[in-house]
Each structure stands twice: as C-alpha cells, then as structure tokens.
Structure 1
C-alpha cells in the first residue's frame, strides 16, 4: 500500500500590540498541521491461468492461478469479495453462444489461498453428459469500474490424456502446478483429485532441442523429432514423493507401449526460469546476432569471455549500454521461460522468440487451435500480426507454431537493431 504525505503549513499572521498578543501570534506561527492522506490501492487483476482435473463421473475440478496486485495477506478474502465477482460459463466452443452450465464461484477460506504472491483457488463444475469437449470461460468482474478479466480453458470430458486425470503437486499443497517444468530441488507427486492409487512410468529424454527459427524462415524444421528414444524408464506410484535429480524431458505415461496420451515434465536446474550460467546465457543470443557473430560465440570455449566479447562488440565497447542490454534482454528470456515452457524451454519456442524480441502483444485472440498476437501501430510500423497454430505432440497439447512469412523481415530487423543499440526498454 502506497502512502502519500501532503504537508500543509498553516501560518497565521496576527498584528498584535501587546506582549500577550505577540506570544499568542507566535504560537500560531509555529503551529504546523500535518494532513496525512492515504491513497488506497484497489486490487487489480494482472494475469490468469487455469487447468482442470476430472474428479468423477459427475464433476470436474477447476484450478486457477491469478496475479492480483494490492492484496493484503490478512484480508485478501474480504478484499476479493468486496471488489470482485467470480463467474463461470461452459459453452460448446469458441464463438458458440450456448450455455451448457454457468454459475458463481464462491471465494472462501476453504477454496482460496495466497501463496508466493499468487492467488490460488479451486471450484467444481458439473460434468455434462454426451459432450466430449467444451469451453470453460471464467470471468473476474471488478465491481468499481465494471472491468472484466477473462480466461478460457478447453476441457476434454473423456479424459483422453493422463493429465486430464492426474496433476503434478509440489510438496503437500492441494493445487497442482500451472507450469510445465519442475526444478531439481522440488519433491513432487502425481495425484488425482480423489487420490486414486496408480502405477505410472516416467520416460526420460534428452533435452537438446534447438531454438525457434526466425519468423522469415522459408524452410521450417519439424517441431519435434518423432524418432525420440527414451534414455531411462522409471516406475513410480501416484501419491508418493518423487525426486528427479537428472535434468531432461520426462514423459509421464500409464503404459510404456502407448506414449500418445501422456504428458511432459521438463526437469530443470534450480535457478530456472532464470538463466545464470554463461554456457546457458550464450544460447539465446541467436535472436539478436548475425550468423557470423553466433559462429564466433559458439567457437569460443570460454562462454563468459564469449558473452563479454559479443556485447562489447555490438556496443562499440560501451560497458554501460552493454549492461543495460544484458539486464533487459535476459529478463525477457526469463519471462519467456516462465510463460511458454512446454516440452522445451520457453525461450526456444516460437511464442518465446516473438515475446523476447517484441515484448508482450497488445491484444491476443484465441480459438480452439489458433492464437493471434497483435502489436499496435506506432510511428515506426503499422500493426503487426503473428498467427500461431496449435501443434499437439506426445508431450503437450499446448504447443504452438508460428505461421512464417518473408514479409516479417521489414519489422523484425528494426526490433533486433533496437536491442543491439540499447534502445529497448523492458
């Protein structure tokens, strides 16, 4: 809560002739009235994530993670109920105005938590009959200004994939994680809503996927190698603690002979989503370097020295600008990892590449299998539109590939040059 102090000095000049009146006037002159004005910061919704687990034949449990600013730890339930209304609507699909189910989401101490600066909540919706998939729309309505924050989530009521029924739970917390990665230090469990015991398997693969190609690339490589072979198979049980000390891509499955319906977990070092080791920091330079510069970076066995040479080279030896670029660029990389990690690190994905270079889009439009990012027109360019098509694979259903065009070159290179000259403000 921010406080602004406005000091108002009230000085009263009194013309006095007697000593008594002079003393009285002096007291008035020396009197200072301090008026304290408290600026009350209302809670504000910044971002929403959601996921679900099928509970039983009649219910689905939905979990939400919200970034809401200005919540007090000791009064957040009261603040939420005073400032917001939470509602849900289930409809057949995007653009279809039907109503399969709807209702109000109650905010109580039993279903709402504040953890690590995030608001976490859970609620149940009815599981409709004879409907294989549907769209869940959740709305956070701000009472003061009628602002709405929405989230969309496609639910497969048939429970085709393992992660429709089992989630990753870190520690003893009752809400599954919303990310696709686990730090090596984390102990986790694979659990269903009703804690059904189940023997499961984790297949470990090498995590050596390449970064995204430029938006102008004419020949695009496949998103994932279909011929991947696991390096290790680990048998685990649901509801029991799992500790994985080897980094890599793990596929959780019910049957090792059928890997189509499992889900991926990327096990990363404990600093992720931040990149801090020089050998990891050099790789994202691919988005702001020439092929010749990248070749020089890769040929230098000393990663720290390669980083220093690269940034001092593009800035003409200006250390101040180099530090500014490094700070802003790797903050973008961290955010890309946090937002877009799937079967590979977020910065390597098509979304992560665009986010790193151009920043967050001004507007996003979603459908069942497509996402469109729009960057508003300004003095330097007209509106830029990036279209991402959903490309499911054995590790995730939420991987998207960019539709590439040579015409992006006119927009892309000026943004890259802005990074190289230190003119991007993160």
Structure 2
C-alpha cells in the first residue's frame, strides 16, 4: 500500500493573498514498479481536495506522476519523492485531503489535515503552523520534513513560521526555543533481566519535564501585517528535540506552536557504516566484548572486526554472508516498524524481532500485545508479552512497548544467540 505523509501550513503573501501550502512525501519503496525498457517505472495518481468548514470545495485537482528508478536499485533503498503544492485559498477553517493511488496495484492511501487561515484584513493576531525543512548538502535545496525522524546525514535544518499582527498599536512578542529532551537511547536489555520501574527513564521513554534549551530568541513586532521568521540549525547530535514558538500580545493571550523531531543515525533506517553495523551486535555479545568492539576508532578496522566476529563464529564464508544479510535485514525492518524516540532495533519489540524473527501471529489489545511463535517460549501463556506503560496518554505520541521480562527467558534467549553465532539460525528460519 502506498505510504505518504502530509503536512499543511497557511501563508499570507506580500500582496495579502491567503494560501494553503501542502508538503507531501511519498515513500518510493511502498510503490509497485514494472519494467519499461531499461528502467523500473511506477505510475501513481494524486488527488488533492481542500474543503471549507461547510464542505464547499475550494480545490479539487488530479495529478498523474511517473516515477522511475534503475533496475540495479536495492529493495531496501529508502528513497522519498517530495511535492510542495501551493493554492490560493480564502481565509477560514479548511480540511485538506489527499488520496494517492498506485495505478499498478490499485491500492490507495488517504491523508487528511485541518488548516486554519487568518484573514489579513481582520484585527486578529495569528501564528501559523511551523514548517520544517532539511537539506542534505550545501548545494541542495531545502525539502520539507513531514515525519518525526531525520538522520544525521544532513547539512542544515530550517524552521519557518509566519506571525500576523492584526493590531499594530499593540506589539507582539515572539519567542522561539530549541530544546533537547532527556530520553532513553540505549539498546534493549536482556529478556531475562529485571522489570523496569515505572518511574525509570526506560519506561517513560522521554521525560518532557527534563530538557536543555539549546537556543532561545525573542523578537518584537511593532508593525501590523504578516512577517515570516526563519531559524536554521546545524550539527545537532542524535537525540529528541522540540522547536517551539510563542506569540504574546498584551501579556494575556499566548499563541503556541511546536514541532517535535528526532535526529537518528547517519543512514537511518538503513545500516551502512561500520559503526552502524557494529552497534546492533549488542544482542549477540556480552558487555565486555561489545565495549571492546565499539572502542575501535578506525572505521576500516571496525569493519574488519565486525566481519571477523561473524566469520570466526560461523567458519564458513558463504554461510556467514547469508546470515549477515538476514541479521541486518531484520535490523532495518525493526527500524522501519518499531522506531519511536530511538531507533527501532533498540526497542524491546525490535530486539525480539531481530533475534526470533516475525511472530506467527499477534494478539493485540489496548496498550498490550502478545507475540506467538511456533516454538515453546517457556512462559505460562506460551507467548512473549509486551505492555505500553504510557498507553492512553494523549501528550505522549509514541508506542513504548516494554517486554514482560522473566528469568524463564534466559535459556530461550541463550539458545537463540548461540544459533546466530554457530549459523544454525539459517535452518531455524526456514
């Protein structure tokens, strides 16, 4: 099924024209490609609708897009197509709806957002949604970021927003801040370890009460009309962030907008560099072996050490290559399926998925799920149980499923680790 994301923002031009700006991203890996001469081609149809609060259509457009890629492209290449579309739309509250159809599969996906556009002729003070952009190199243009995660392989980030002062006699104080939150970024602990305390950072995932303000700026708008303000940042380390804007007039009503995001590993969600290949071996090494591996500073030496780990254990190069491929495919799949405030391979479901593969079936309820496999897990209900301690908290935008750890898992996890090391995992997975 096509995977798309949609963000929308209002805008007022210099000649006071009100606009709706749509930022659309399409994951190319979610589309069906067919051979056409010397390339692979995907055909998609994009329908855009903008409706007034009463349901009156202001926009109804249909686009047909042709996307191509080389036959040598790998299945795991995470390429994204971006589209920015701007429409002149009257002030008011609107519903923006896009539907994408993969013409090769017939599958469709719909996304919808609400958008409020201020009348520039009114005496209202307004703050637009925050627009978030990144560019990969200095020569590249900025492209919109629609999701939560970005990788470290970027040149710079930019946040843009618009403030409308409808009453020029009263100045508007605008403050913007970039904050980094304290969050659990460590790999999942052993399945047989102790349960995490509810008050621990692991259970919380992110502690929104503990943060560091990295930058804070204030600006006073003494004139009427609209103004666009931009903030740019470079070299942010991995972590979870919030860019927030507040606009205050008369010291009373404060307008507030936020944009949360996370910076993850350089090639996220893919695994390419030596250090990215080394880190997920956390689940197959003891603590001393793992720290020794990560202490290797030279990338070439680290890559040789990773290769040596697999070859020295499996002792068969063709078989080792097959198992390496399977292990890192699972790591990348875990990143795609289970990422939240940290990479998916570091989460409890990610750890279980990497070691044991996809479950035979899943029993999922409100804030809990149980994975069932063909083998005996050694637990009372014969499954692997997860619980989300923050389920139902509207202020927490992630799933944070925690494994119900038990000493009963010790033997099961040990045997599975050994099967990866000696190569027998290849037979268990057939």
TM-score range, shorter chain: 0.5 to 0.7
Tell me the distance in 2 between the aligned counterparts of 1:121 and 1:339. Answer: 24
State yes or no: 1:65 paired with 2:26.
yes
Match of 1:185 in 2: 154
State yes or no: 1:80 paired with 2:44.
yes
Match of 2:242 in 1: 251
State the aligned residue count: 352
Q: Deviations over 1:340-396 (max 9, x none)?
A: 5443333223454344345567888999x8586867x668899877665766999x9
Match of 2:345 in 1: 347
Shift of 1:230: 1.9
SS at 1:333 equivalent? helix
| Aligned with 2:178 (options 202, 207, 213) | 202
TM superposition score normalised by structure 1: 0.56
Q: Deviations over 1:197-247 (max 9, x none)?
A: 975322346887211235565512432356644273365997647341242
C-alpha spacing 1:275/1:204, structure 2 compared with 1 (3 Å)? same
Shift of 1:48: 0.9
SS at 1:344 equivalent? coil
Q: Deviations over 1:239-288 (max 9, x none)?
A: 647341242333312269x9x97444334564444445555543322223
Match of 1:420 in 2: 421
Match of 1:37 in 2: none
State yes or no: 1:399 paired with 2:392.
no
Match of 1:5 in 2: none
RMSD of aligned residue pairs (Cα, Å): 6.0
- 1:342, 1:399 within 8 Å by CA — same for their partners in 2? yes
SS at 1:285 equivalent? helix
State yes or no: 1:55 paired with 2:10.
yes
Q: Return 5+ residue gaps in structure 1 as ranges.
A: 1-44, 91-99
SS at 2:43 equivalent? helix
C-alpha spacing 1:266/1:175, structure 2 compared with 1 (3 Å)? closer
Match of 2:288 in 1: 295
TM superposition score normalised by structure 2: 0.55
Match of 1:7 in 2: none
Matches within 5 A, 1:204-353: 204=180, 209-214=185-190, 218-220=194-196, 221-222=202-203, 223-225=205-207, 228-230=210-212, 232-233=214-215, 235=217, 240=230, 242-249=232-239, 250-254=241-245, 262-267=258-263, 270-276=266-272, 278-289=274-285, 293-299=286-292, 301-302=295-296, 304=302, 307=306, 310-312=309-311, 314-315=313-314, 317-337=315-335, 340-353=338-351
Q: Return 5+ residue gaps in structure 2 as ranges.
A: 12-17, 70-77, 117-126, 166-173, 197-201, 220-227, 248-253
Shift of 1:189: 1.9
C-alpha spacing 1:189/1:371, structure 2 compared with 1 (3 Å)? farther
Q: Which moved more, 1:328-337 or 1:50-59?
A: 50-59
Tell me the distance in 2 between the aligned counterparts of 1:296 and 1:103. Answer: 62
Identify, as 1 or 2, the structure richer in strand: 2
